[in-house]
């Protein structure tokens, strides 16, 4: 694979799909580190859960499947006629990727806003200073 246009479009597809799946946050397995078990959100196990592994794994899986299809299609097209992108298309796609990454980061920050407004538990010292 020597054509940067194919890799660039495939990477763009991977980033768009990953960000969309990551923000959508579909039901994914959660890991319970104390019990060392996995569970689905609709059938939760006891104890603190970690959703990051499942969320990242599902988004990465979706990105790999769709970008793999994109790579196969573009490679096929490239064999018939060399696949190229105009400079304006590359700049436009780059701007779209930047926007996608920025929107994803804003979405992540918004997701976590409850942690910044939550009042901490009252701490009662067990001795006087």
Partner 1 sequence: MQSLPFEPISKALLFLHLAAAFVALGSCVHLLARFTYALRGAYFPQVKLHARILAISYTVVFVLGGLIYPTFRIRVRHDYLDAALPWATGLFEIKELGASIALIPAIGVWLLVRLIDFRASEHRPYIFACMIFAGAVLTVLVYNAWAGWYLGTLRSI
CA atoms of 17 and 100, how far apart (whole Å): 10
- Residue 8 and residue 93: Cα distance in Å, rounded? 9
**Helical (H) or strand (E) element with 58:** helix 52-80
Q: Which of residues 49-78 bind partner 1 (CB under 8 A)?
A: 50, 52-53, 55-56, 59-60, 63
Token pair, residue 115, equals 């942690």
Among 79, 80, 121, 127, binds partner 1 (CB under 8 A): 121
Q: Among residues 80, 81, 123, 127, which is the contact residue for partner 1, using CB under 8 A?
A: 123
Q: Does 11 bind partner 1 (CB under 8 A)?
A: yes
C-alpha 11/C-alpha 27 separation (Å) is: 25
Establish if 3 lies at the interface with partner 1 (CB under 8 A): yes
Residue 50 DSSP SS3: strand
Chain residues that interact with partner 1, rule: CB under 8 A: 1-4, 7-8, 11, 14-15, 18-19, 22, 31, 33-34, 36, 48, 50, 52-53, 55-56, 59-60, 63, 85, 87, 90-91, 93-94, 97-98, 101, 104-105, 108-109, 111-116, 118-121, 123
């Amino acid at each position: 694979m020597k054509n940067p246009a194919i890799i660039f479009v495939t990477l763009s597809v991977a980033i768009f799909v990953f960000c969309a799946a990551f923000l959508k946050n579909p039901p994914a397995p959660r890991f319970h580190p104390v019990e060392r078990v996995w569970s689905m959100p609709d059938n939760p196990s006891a104890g603190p859960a970690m959703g990051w592994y499942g969320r990242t794994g599902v988004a990465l899986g979706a990105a790999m499947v769709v970008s793999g299809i994109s790579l196969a299609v573009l490679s096929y097209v490239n064999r018939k006629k060399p696949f190229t992108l105009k400079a304006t298309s590359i700049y436009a796609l780059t701007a779209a990727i930047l926007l996608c990454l920025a929107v994803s980061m804003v979405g992540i920050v918004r997701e976590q806003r409850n942690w910044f407004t939550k009042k901490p538990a009252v701490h009662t010292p067990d001795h006087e200073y």
